[in-house]
Amino acid sequence: MSDTSPGPEEVRHVADLARVGLDDEEVERFTDQFADILDYFETLEEVPEVDREADLVNVMRADEVRDSLTQEEALANASETEDGYFKGPNVS
Amino acid sequence: MSADYNIFVTEETIEGESDGPLADRTVAVKDNISTEGVRTTCGSEMLDDYVPPYDATVVEELKQAGATIVGKANMDEFGMGSTTETSAFGPTENPAAPGRVPGGSSGGSAAAVAAGEADLALGSDTGGSVRNPAAFCGVVGIKPTYGLVSRYGLVAYANSLEQIGPLAPTVAEAAELLDVISGPDENDATTRQEGAESDYASAATGDLDGTTIGVPTELVEGADEGVRERFEDALDDLRAQGATVEDVSLPSIEHAVEAYYVIAMSEASSNLARFDGVRFGTSGGFEGNWNEAFSRSREAFGEEVKRRILLGTYALSAGYHDKYYKQAQDARAWVKQDFDEAFESVDVLASPTMPVPPFEQGESLDDPLQMYLADANTVPVNLADLPAISVPAGEVDGGPVGIQFVGPAFGEDEIIRVGSAVEN
């Protein structure tokens, strides 16, 4: 295990950042697995700095009104709606 | 029949036009490709009742070509897995290797073709998810050059890496399906003109005259002995048909798996933020704190998906971004350069598609890192945005073996031509 691999508290912290609920068993398992996986990822340190020549161009289109989903279609997969809007939990 | 292998998440017939190049052909569509009015689950409990309000571009193209869609094929949850065992709808069994996994993540698509449940299938390939199950199920699978096929309506896992690709019993049939789905799409700004007037099907000539095949030694050394034997047999056969085979070296490849997983997980952690129990999925409740409600609804993700979202979040978080994500981008550029250099002296590169025969069911679930390492031969292609094909190359005790050919960008004709020679 590397010195820098996250302990259970850090796994919980990352889960909070990612908004993913974990139970205690998952925290324990992930702590072990992340140590192995991140150890392996650390071999990226050996990669030399590389000239990245991205040959990219922007793809633009005219900003014109066109047909889109109806409000009803857009809301069809929401678990709760109210007055034609998505319904979410309190923001506080 | 299909119930035996658990090939489809949803069996439903979607009729296409009465006329067209794929009239009277049946197609299985991976369940992360949107079908209007037919549920599209991505193999996830999060989307178990999600019904897309529109068709993916490739689905529209299938319908216009006269194809009949016969069902939505099972897959690893959101494409995250190499065995189709992370599906919330249970594992698919390999029709070509009883008791073994069909590979993944497009395992249902490959199994549908192998079992004769569909003539053809569509999968998606982010790090090998078309080629791996094609190899394990003994069918042909193509991962197109990035930008050849529209991703509009494909539920995103790692946008910079993935392409939709065809699976079929033969190279010519896979090429024929690729002709239908390739080409530019105004709804996907990353698509290019190259596939617009394609005729890949006629490239399946099996003609190897003057062809030089490079073999990256790094991708053969680690392979299982039986797999290597089948691979060498296939190369001997191609030599006998007139090809020249030479060793090449791609030193950057040693870092491809870790670069791939850092990039894929980072992109996934952002992409999957949309599954919040408000727009999709089941609500996490309305009382208390937004963040807690959001976290509760996301408990519906399976363990592999949670693992990748967390590792991606970690890799992008303050203090770690340079160490993981930036280094992975450098590795990606290095891999591209290595491939470019190799294609200055060879026409295509060949390797075993998978270094091992199909895993036994349940074998790899407990050790995620071991499962990631099995992707060593497929992920470099996605990092370099290149086209690749997997073609059946015989069997070993554990099941079918695939040989992979990688071509230069938009060199689909080349890999189809060489791949079809394996069938001679």
Which residues in B lie closer than 8 A to residue A21 (C-beta atoms)?
Answer: 295-296, 298-299
Is the CA virtual torsion A73, A79, A83, A88 positive or negative? negative
**What count of other Cβ atoms lies within 10 Å of the Cβ of residue B413?**
18
C-beta of residue B405 within 8 angstroms of C-beta of residue B380: no
* pLDDT of A30: 96
Please tell me the distance from the alpha carbon of residue B151 to that of residue B157, in angstroms, as a whole number: 11
The pLDDT-based confidence of B221 (bands split at 50, 70, 90) is very high
Please tell me the distance from the alpha carbon of residue B138 to that of residue B332, in angstroms, as a whole number: 30
Picking from B72, B80, B35, B172, the residue whose alpha carbon sits closest to that of residue B368 is B80
Please tell me the distance from the alpha carbon of residue B158 to that of residue B385, in angstroms, as a whole number: 13
Q: What is the 3-state secondary structure (H, E, C) of B173-225?
A: HHHHHHHHHECCECCECCCCCCCCCCCHHHHCCCCCCCCEEEEECHHHHCCCH
Interface mutation target, options B313, B320, B371, chain A, most CBs of A under 10 Å: B313
Under DSSP, the state recorded for B11 is -
Question: Is A29 among the domain residues?
Answer: yes
pLDDT of residue B11 exceeding 70, the answer is yes
The pLDDT-based confidence of B402 (bands split at 50, 70, 90) is very high
Could A90 and B289 be called an inter-chain contact, meaning their C-beta atoms sit closer than 8 Å? yes
A18 vs B189, B309, B330: nearest CB: B309
Question: Is A81 among the domain residues?
Answer: no
Could A33 and B307 be called an inter-chain contact, meaning their C-beta atoms sit closer than 8 Å? yes
pLDDT (mean) for B145-154: 98
Question: Is A28 among the domain residues?
Answer: yes
Q: Hey, is B333 helix, strand or coil?
A: helix
> Which pLDDT tens digit goes with each residue over B319-333?
899 999 999 999 999
The pLDDT-based confidence of B272 (bands split at 50, 70, 90) is very high
The pLDDT-based confidence of B29 (bands split at 50, 70, 90) is very high
* pLDDT of B217: 97
Could B330 and A90 be called an inter-chain contact, meaning their C-beta atoms sit closer than 8 Å? no
Give the CATH number for residue A12.
Answer: 1.10.20
Question: Is A27 among the domain residues?
Answer: yes
Chains A, B: CB pairs < 8 Å = 152
Amino acid letter, A56: L
pLDDT (mean) for B4-20: 96
Active site residue B160: no
The rounded radius of gyration (Å) of the Cα atoms in chain B is: 20
Please tell me the distance from the alpha carbon of residue B246 to that of residue B324, in angstroms, as a whole number: 34
Q: Please tell me if residue A46 touches chain B, with a CB cutoff of 8 Å.
A: yes
Residues with Cβ within 8 Å of A9's Cβ and at least 6 positions away in sequence, in order, are none
Which residues in A lie closer than 8 A to residue B287 (C-beta atoms)?
Answer: 89-90
A19 vs B294, B327, B334: nearest CB: B294
The full set of domains in chain B, from first to last, is 7-209+350-422 (3.90.1300.10)
pLDDT (mean) for B337-357: 98
Mean of the per-residue pLDDT values for chain B? 96
Range of the structural domain that residue A22 is part of: 8-46
Peptide bond into B105 cis (omega under 30): yes
Interface mutation target, options A5, A11, A19, A31, chain B, most CBs of B under 10 Å: A19
Active site residue B105: yes
pLDDT of residue B278 exceeding 60, the answer is yes
Q: Please tell me if residue A11 touches chain B, with a CB cutoff of 8 Å.
A: yes
* pLDDT of B176: 98
Question: Is A76 among the domain residues?
Answer: no
Q: Hey, is A38 helix, strand or coil?
A: helix
pLDDT (mean) for B236-263: 97
Question: Is A21 among the domain residues?
Answer: yes
Picking from B186, B142, B192, the residue whose alpha carbon sits closest to that of residue B167 is B142
Could B286 and A91 be called an inter-chain contact, meaning their C-beta atoms sit closer than 8 Å? no
B279 vs A47, A78, A89: nearest CB: A78
Maximum mean pLDDT: which of A4-18, A50-64, B245-259:
B245-259
* pLDDT of A53: 74
Q: How many domains does chain A have?
A: 1
Interface subset of A 13-42, CB within 8 angstroms of B: 14-22, 26, 29-30, 33-34, 36-38, 40-42
The tokens describing B390, both together, are 């997997």
pLDDT of residue B365 exceeding 80, the answer is no
**Helix orientation angle between B171-181 and B412-422, rounded to the nearest 10 degrees:** 160
C-beta of residue B204 within 8 angstroms of C-beta of residue B416: yes
Could A18 and B258 be called an inter-chain contact, meaning their C-beta atoms sit closer than 8 Å? no
Under DSSP, the state recorded for A46 is G
pLDDT of residue B197 exceeding 80, the answer is yes
Strand A85-86 to strand B140-143: parallel, antiparallel, or no bridges (unpaired)? Answer: unpaired
pLDDT of residue B3 exceeding 60, the answer is no
Active site residue B323: no
Catalytic residue, candidates B2, B34, B82, B129? B129
* pLDDT of B2: 46
Could A47 and B255 be called an inter-chain contact, meaning their C-beta atoms sit closer than 8 Å? yes
* pLDDT of B1: 45
* pLDDT of B130: 98
The pLDDT-based confidence of A1 (bands split at 50, 70, 90) is very low
Question: Is A36 among the domain residues?
Answer: yes
Nearest chain B Cα to A43, which residue? B255
**Chain B closest CA to A92's CA: distance in Å?**
6
Could A90 and B288 be called an inter-chain contact, meaning their C-beta atoms sit closer than 8 Å? yes
Question: Is A51 among the domain residues?
Answer: no
Amino acid letter, B388: A
**Percent of chain B whose predicted confidence (pLDDT) is above 90:** 94
B334 vs A6, A47, A74: nearest CB: A47
pLDDT of residue B121 exceeding 60, the answer is yes
Could B269 and A18 be called an inter-chain contact, meaning their C-beta atoms sit closer than 8 Å? yes
- Phi, psi angle pair for B46, to nearest 5°: -55, -30
The pLDDT-based confidence of A57 (bands split at 50, 70, 90) is confident
DSSP letter for each residue of B30-50: ETTB-BTTB---TT-GGGTT-
**Chain B closest CA to A84's CA: distance in Å?**
13
pLDDT of residue A32 exceeding 80, the answer is yes
